[in-house]
Amino acid sequence: MQLQFLGTGAGTPSRERNVTSIVLDLQGVRNATWLFDCGEGTQHQILRTPIKPGKIEKIFITHLHGDHIFGLPGLLTSRSMNGSGDPLTLYGPAGIKTFVETAISLSGSWLTFPLEIVEITAGEVCNDEQFRVTAYPLTHPVECYGYRIDEHDKPGALNAEKLAADNVPAGPYFYDLKHGRSVTLDDGRVINGWDYVGDKIPGRSLAIFGDTAPTERATELAAGVDVMVHEATLEVAMEEKANSRGHSTTAQAAKVAQESGAKRLIITHLSSRYLRADCERLLKECQAIFPHTEMAHDFAVFNL
């Protein structure tokens, strides 16, 4: 799987950073992508990547501030104009349904694909054969959530030596054995798959925060994740200003990663006051607390 950042700025676009949007490419798991937030200009950013809008399966919105949702109507209608018929599910706080339906209606637009809009609250958002997504409330002037994505554990490998020792011939029932099911062999024996399967392979985990000031729920959201994505809107010296507006500093993001036991931190959502020349200094503020910190830039790709 990969994370690709389409926009890494806060509030307004700048020459160096567009506003927030992140793509989770599920390559290696299934042929689909998920989008987290959709700020203005997101579809223009997509045009500069290999991402195909028709392959976007789900969109998760953290909150309804414009720099996180103003790109939605354009992306959805362009997806239709390109002829996509694949269904798409949109998740977001209360009001997201009214926003999207009003924009489409008043602009005389239409959709060629089934769109399901789910207005979320804290708790499980969706759960399928491969992933579970949970929303956690954050601290921001408007209702805002962070999303935790947990990949389900995968079955361990079949023990070929034990199968051979027990004279279990190869066959299509190996699929059932690998998933722990009981099967009946041609000679009448009934065997239990769990007797031949190794330890489960732990799934990967990811926490994507929306905008937030420090909050008690942060460490629960990011507990033990492989990758944590957190805003770092302002530098350490501007903590009071950041927190008063529902945002975090570099050091506060790093502290969450440290306290939650995250393995890796990627910071994003930087104020437009910062230029590329400032980035090394901001990154070092994080790394002084949590060394495994990286900074996202527009179009940066991170492997999970």
pLDDT (mean) for 109-116: 95
Q: How far is CA 227 from the centre of its chain?
A: 10
Count CA atoms closer than 13 A to 67's CA, side-chain side: 19
Residues in the chain, overall count: 304
Residue at which a domain ends, from 176, 195, 214: 195
Which residues does 263 contact at the CB level (< 8 Å), separation at least 6?
224, 225, 226, 227, 292
Determine the structural domain holding residue 179 and report its residue range.
160-195
Sign of CA dihedral 162, 167, 170, 174: negative
Is 67 among the residues known to form the active site? yes
pLDDT of 20-38, one tens digit each?
A: 999 999 998 999 999 999 9
Q: Is 68 annotated as a binding residue?
A: yes
Q: Is 199 annotated as a binding residue?
A: no
Which alpha helices (H) appear in 37-88, and where do they start and end?
Answer: 42-46, 66-69, 72-81
Whether the predicted pLDDT of 167 surpasses 90: no
Q: Is 195 annotated as a binding residue?
A: no
Q: Are residues 139 and 109 in the same domain?
A: yes
In this prediction, what percent of the chain has a pLDDT beyond 70?
100
pTM to 2 decimal places: 0.90
pLDDT band at 274 (very low <50, low <70, confident <90, very high): very high
Rounded to whole angstroms, the Cα distance separating 240 from 256 reads 17
Q: Are residues 79 and 139 in the same domain?
A: yes
Whether the predicted pLDDT of 180 surpasses 90: no
Q: Are residues 281 and 143 in the same domain?
A: yes
Whether the predicted pLDDT of 157 surpasses 90: no
pLDDT (mean) for 63-82: 96
Q: Are residues 42 and 184 in the same domain?
A: no
Rounded to whole angstroms, the Cα distance separating 273 from 282 reads 12
* Pair of tokens at residue 132: 């579970």
Q: Are residues 54 and 186 in the same domain?
A: no
Which residues does 297 contact at the CB level (< 8 Å), separation at least 6?
5, 8, 16, 17, 279
From 67, 176, 199, 226, the catalytic residue = 67
Q: Are residues 43 and 97 in the same domain?
A: yes
| CATH code assigned at 272 | 3.60.15.10
Q: Are residues 278 and 233 in the same domain?
A: yes
Q: Are residues 164 and 19 in the same domain?
A: no
pLDDT at 176: 86
Q: Are residues 184 and 221 in the same domain?
A: no
Q: Are residues 209 and 236 in the same domain?
A: yes
Q: Are residues 107 and 174 in the same domain?
A: no
Looking at the 3D structure of the chain, how many domains does it have? 2
pLDDT of 182-201, one tens digit each?
A: 988 888 899 998 888 888 88
Q: Are residues 120 and 216 in the same domain?
A: yes
Q: How far is CA 254 from the centre of its chain?
A: 19
